[in-house]
Structure 1
């Protein structure tokens, strides 16, 4: 897996592996799907946000959604043969969970929960 991050609408998205994406989806978080050879936000717009709370994904398993996505979008060597997964992340103070300041002792990267509100 190639490490890749990108910024869109003020949110930073980080590429994660399939196991992490399955856990995020199971916990009700939004995961962005994109064919592995394309970059999210490209003019072709084959990327899509998946959340099990959405009406179109309710009752579907993670694997069935991935299989359907790959069947229609990951067909050749140009787009790639598998799905890449991305989640929005933000850096926060590791002790308070708030935006880091000059006096912050350490930071940690976590899911950007504000992305689901927007």
Structure 2
């Protein structure tokens, strides 16, 4: 993944890892283009065995339209699974999303869920 982040370094992509059980959940953040005109925050996470880097073009799309974007691999996905062996636990995805919003002080989340809407993430997750 080092080549991915090197290629998009000029876009202001910020990598991070959040401690989780015996490893880390990795991801990236794109700050809102303008702090005064920010439209809010969007949280993106993949599903199945995806890597969060697959969703960069979607994240960039929203970022270019004024949103702060936080994107991460959940347990059982990407580096969390491949590097740290952290398994996917369906009932914990909602709390994982909420903890990400809290750690980045992202404010109010009006909608959340995975790409096909099957994960049990609350539709309104105020934090």
Q: Please say whether Structure 1 and Structure 2 have the same fold, judged by a TM-score greater than 0.5.
A: no
Larger RCO (CA within 8 A; separation ≥ 6): 1
Q: Which has the larger radius of gyration?
A: 1
Greater fraction strand: 1
TM-score when normalising by structure 1? 0.29
